[in-house]
Amino acid sequence: MLAPVRSTSAPVGIFDSGVGGLSVLREIRVLLPREQLIYFADCGNAPYGSRPDAEVQSLSMAACEWLIGQGVKALLLACNTATAQIVAGLRAKYPKLPIVGVEPGIKPGALASQTKKVGVLATASTLSSTKFQTLLAGVREHHHCEFLCQAGLGLVELIEQGKADSPEVDALLHRYLEPMLESGVDTLVLGCTHYPFMDAALHRVLAQRMRLIDTGPAVAKQLARKLEEHHLGANADAAEGAPVRIVSIGTVAPLRGMVQELLRLEAVYSEISLA
Ligand code: DGL
């Protein structure tokens, strides 16, 4: 058993390039209502998914180290793109800190598919990463499943602009998903934490012709397991639903809209610069 190294009352740090990680934060709030949460976004530099690897690595590392500097007891990379690029390096540098990452749910996708044809929608950076390609090769071989991978170019930009439910998103989804439907794909892995916010558009475009795989609930459970393993879960007498601290490089405007209108959470906001 591991000895506790941090206080149970310290916050959990959650990082994403922008609003996407809020889709995971929503699940954490339901499962772990007593945890204090700091959400750090880099709205000034999002999206990350079409940037070169070296840029994603340095931006993500700076953001995560800012959260670590706040004394978080655990860190969640609620971003597939950042996880693919830095989670191994981060774990090597901070071996005592519980760190949870996210990756496209291609194994649950393979298990759920009847046709054994699974679509994966993720950022270009995630899809081309060594981490994802290694995962894909293993699952493909083991589950005898075909994967159709598509970069969701333009989607994150629209979601950051508050247009997750819009004709522009519908048009991109038609373009990306129709070829998958024609190939017999019956299951779609949402490989970017921004995408669950397109639920209305996805249901319109797909009309239930594909099952959707979102790893948000599984990631929240993984965080709960890590906290327990490290004896770091919030005390039973801690208050539920404390305001979430939301911090962004550049503007917090996209986050404010999502947190207030969609998640209906109390929050305190601040804008910072890491330069
Ligand atoms: N939400 C992120 C992900 O899960 C990244 C989006 C982006 O910045 O491109 O990959």
Query: Catalytic residues, which ones?
Result: 79, 192
Q: How many CB atoms lie within 10 A of CB 269?
A: 17
For the CA of 102, the closest atom of ligand 1 is 4
Q: How many CB atoms lie within 10 A of CB 143?
A: 17
Among 11, 27, 35, 37, CA closest to 268: 37
Phi-psi region of 220 (alpha: psi -120 to 50; beta: other; left: phi over 0): alpha
| Residue 195 CA, ligand 1 centroid: distance in Å | 9
Query: Rounded to the nearest 5°, which phi and psi values hold at 91?
Result: -65, -35
pLDDT at 5: 53
In whole angstroms, give the CA distance from residue 123 to residue 127: 6
Question: pLDDT 10s per residue in the chain (275 long)?
Answer: 444 457 999 999 999 999 999 999 999 999 999 999 999 999 999 999 999 999 999 999 999 999 999 999 999 999 999 999 999 999 999 999 999 999 999 999 999 999 999 999 999 999 999 999 999 999 999 999 999 999 999 999 999 999 999 999 999 999 999 999 999 999 999 999 999 999 999 999 999 999 999 999 999 999 999 999 999 999 999 999 999 999 999 999 999 999 998 899 999 999 999 87
**Chain position carrying tokens 């979601």:** 159
Instruction: Report the residue among 22, 24, 25, 48 best suited for mutation to probe ligand 1: largest number of ligand atoms under 8 A from its CB.
Output: 48
In whole angstroms, give the CA distance from residue 38 to residue 14: 6
pLDDT at 1: 41
| Residue 239 CA, ligand 1 centroid: distance in Å | 31
Q: Whose CA is nearest to atom 2 of ligand 1?
A: 79
pLDDT in tens, 195-246: 999 999 999 999 999 999 999 999 999 999 999 999 999 999 999 999 999 9
pLDDT at 154: 98
Q: Regarding beta strands 12-16 and 211-213, do their DSSP bridges make them parallel or antiparallel, or are they unpaired?
A: unpaired
In whole angstroms, give the CA distance from residue 155 to residue 141: 30
pLDDT at 6: 75
| Residue 273 CA, ligand 1 centroid: distance in Å | 20
Ligand 1 contacts (CB < 6 A) are 16-18, 20, 46-49, 79-81, 123, 126, 156, 192-194
| Residue 110 CA, ligand 1 centroid: distance in Å | 22
**Tokens, residue 227:** 């906290």
Among 72, 59, 68, CA closest to 17: 59
For the CA of 191, the closest atom of ligand 1 is 4
For the CA of 195, the closest atom of ligand 1 is 1
